[in-house]
C-alpha cells in the first residue's frame, strides 16, 4: 500500500458559468430538518435521480436499483464521543469538539468559550481530563492530552456523541447506536458518514443475495465538514483535511466490477471523496493508499471511480452540495432539491436519501 498526502483541488467551472457561493443556496423550511432518526434505518425515503427523471422510492428498495456485479463502497469509519464539556483554570465554561487526532497525545479541536483560551492555558474536560492549549491552527485549537493515556480511549470514556449543530437537542441514549453505521469499525470520525446510516443488516444481506458486492474504505470525517464557506469566489476556499485509507481489497473489487461491466456505487460523499482523492493522487488510477485529502469538488470535476452515489440531502452553500452538483449536474441537483422540498423529504444527517446516477452511469 502506498502512503500519500493527497492535497488536491478541483475548482474548475463547467463550460457555461463560473459558480459563486450564492449559486448553491436554496430555501429550506426549518421543519424539514430531521431532528431524530426514523424507527427503522431503511424506512427512510429515497429520491432516485436519473438525469431529468425523478422517482420517489423507499430506501428499502435500493436492491431493486442495483444489478448483480455492481459494487457498493461503504465508509467503515466509527464516530468518536468527540464532544467534551469542562472548564478553564479560571473557572469559565468550555465546550470542545474534537476535529481530528494529530498525534499520540494531541488533537485539533473547536473550542467554545466566553473568552478564547490562550496558548499555555489548561482546561479540565468532563471533570477528568487535563488538557493544555498548545496553540491555534486557523479556526482550530491544538490541544495536548495527558501522556501515558490513549487519547481515543479518554475521548470514548468521557465524551458525548457529537450530534451536528442543526440537531437542536442534546444527544440521547438512542444516538449511541443510531448516529453510527451498523458496519462502523475504525474509530476516528467526529461526524457520521450519514448515507450509511440507512443500512441495516437485513438490507445488506438482501444486497449480497442479489449479487451486489460490498467493499470498504475509511475516511475519518472531521468537524470541519460543518464549517461554512465564507468566500463568494469558490476558488479561494480551502477545505479541511481528513484522513483516509483505501485497502488493496477495495482496489481489486473496483477492478473486478469494471471487468464484468458492473457499476461502482459510492455510499456517501465521504466514500466518494476517498475514492476520487486517492485516484487523483495516482494519476487518475485507483491504488491502495492512506494519507490525507482536502479534495474540493465543484462542477467541472472529472470523476474517475464512482458511477453512482447514494447520499443524504446537504446544507445550503455547503461543499457537499457542491460535490453532488458536480456529480449529477448543477441544474439537475437544483431541480431535485426543489422537488424534495415540495415533497416534504427530511433533510440532513437523520433525514432521507438520494440515489444519483452520475454522468458516467
pLDDT tens by residue, 35-78:
999 999 999 999 999 999 999 999 999 999 999 999 999 999 99
pLDDT at residue 13, rounded to an integer: 37
Q: Which of the residue ranges 26-40, 135-149, 223-237 has the most confident prediction, judged by mean pLDDT?
A: 26-40
Is the pLDDT at 217 greater than 50? The verdict is: yes
pLDDT at residue 142, rounded to an integer: 96
pLDDT at residue 17, rounded to an integer: 63
Q: Which of 80-84, 280-284, 337-341 has the lowest average pLDDT?
A: 280-284
Instruction: Please report how many Cα atoms fall inside a 13 Å half-sphere around the Cα of residue 177, on the Cβ side.
Output: 9
pLDDT at residue 313, rounded to an integer: 98
Those residues with Cβ within 8 angstroms of residue 197's Cβ, 6 or more apart along the chain or in another chain = 37, 41, 178, 179, 180, 181, 349, 350
Could you write out the DSSP letters of every residue in 268-285? HHHHHHHHHHHHHTTTTS
Average of per-residue pLDDT values in the chain = 92
Give me the mean pLDDT over the 130-157 stretch: 92
pLDDT at residue 65, rounded to an integer: 97
pLDDT at residue 6, rounded to an integer: 36
pLDDT at residue 360, rounded to an integer: 57
Residue 343 Cα to chain centre, angstroms? 25
- Helix (H), strand (E) counts: the chain: 8, 20
Is the pLDDT at 361 greater than 60? The verdict is: no
Cα distance between residue 38 and residue 346, in whole Å: 10
For the chain, which domains are there? 2-79+175-357 (3.40.1780.10), 83-158 (2.40.10)
Is the pLDDT at 226 greater than 80? The verdict is: no
pLDDT of 171-208, one tens digit each? 999 999 999 999 999 999 999 999 999 999 999 999 99
pLDDT band at 12 (very low <50, low <70, confident <90, very high): very low
Give me the mean pLDDT over the 197-220 stretch: 98
pLDDT band at 90 (very low <50, low <70, confident <90, very high): confident
Q: How many CB atoms lie within 10 A of CB 53?
A: 9
Is the pLDDT at 273 greater than 80? The verdict is: yes
Residue 194's nearest CA partner among 324, 31, 342, 37 is: 37
Output the CA torsion 33→35→41→43 (10° steps).
-60
Amino acid at each position: 500500500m502506498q502512503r500519500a498526502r493527497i492535497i488536491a483541488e478541483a475548482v474548475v467551472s463547467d463550460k457555461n458559468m463560473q459558480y459563486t457561493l450564492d449559486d448553491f443556496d436554496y430555501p429550506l423550511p426549518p421543519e424539514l430538518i430531521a431532528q431524530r432518526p426514523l424507527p427503522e434505518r431503511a424506512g427512510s425515503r429515497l429520491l432516485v435521480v436519473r438525469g431529468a427523471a425523478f422517482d420517489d422510492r423507499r430506501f428499502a428498495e435500493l436492491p431493486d436499483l442495483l444489478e448483480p456485479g455492481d459494487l457498493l463502497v461503504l465508509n467503515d469509519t466509527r464516530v468518536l464521543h468527540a464532544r467534551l464539556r469542562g472548564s478553564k483554570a479560571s473557572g469559565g465554561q468550555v465546550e470542545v469538539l474534537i476535529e481530528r487526532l494529530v498525534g499520540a497525545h494531541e488533537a485539533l479541536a473547536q473550542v467554545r468559550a466566553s473568552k478564547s483560551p490562550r496558548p499555555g492555558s489548561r482546561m479540565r474536560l468532563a471533570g477528568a481530563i487535563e488538557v493544555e492549549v498548545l496553540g491555534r491552527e486557523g479556526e482550530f485549537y491544538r490541544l495536548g492530552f495527558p501522556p501515558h493515556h490513549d487519547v481515543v480511549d479518554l475521548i470514548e470514556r468521557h465524551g458525548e456523541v457529537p450530534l451536528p449543530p442543526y440537531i437542536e437537542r442534546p444527544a440521547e441514549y438512542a444516538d449511541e447506536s443510531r448516529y453510527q453505521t451498523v458496519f462502523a469499525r475504525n474509530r476516528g470520525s467526529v461526524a457520521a458518514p450519514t448515507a450509511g446510516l440507512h443500512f441495516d443488516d437485513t438490507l445488506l444481506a438482501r444486497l449480497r443475495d442479489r449479487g451486489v458486492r460490498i467493499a470498504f474504505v475509511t475516511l475519518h470525517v472531521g468537524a470541519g465538514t460543518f464549517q461554512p464557506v465564507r468566500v463568494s469566489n469558490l476558488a479561494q476556499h480551502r477545505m479541511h483535511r481528513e484522513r483516509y485509507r483505501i485497502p488493496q481489497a477495495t482496489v481489486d473489487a473496483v477492478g473486478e466490477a469494471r471487468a464484468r461491466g458492473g457499476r461502482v456505487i459510492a455510499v456517501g460523499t465521504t466514500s466518494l471523496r476517498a475514492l476520487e482523492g486517492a485516484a487523483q493522487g495516482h494519476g487518475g488510477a485507483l491504488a491502495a493508499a492512506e494519507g490525507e485529502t482536502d479534495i474540493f469538488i465543484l462542477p467541472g470535476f472529472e470523476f474517475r471511480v464512482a458511477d453512482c452515489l447514494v447520499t443524504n440531502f446537504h446544507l445550503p452553500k455547503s461543499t457537499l452540495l457542491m460535490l453532488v452538483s458536480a456529480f449529477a449536474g448543477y441544474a439537475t441537483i437544483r431541480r431535485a432539491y426543489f422537488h424534495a422540498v415540495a415533497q416534504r423529504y427530511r433533510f440532513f444527517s437523520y433525514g432521507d436519501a438520494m440515489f444519483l446516477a452520475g454522468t458516467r452511469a
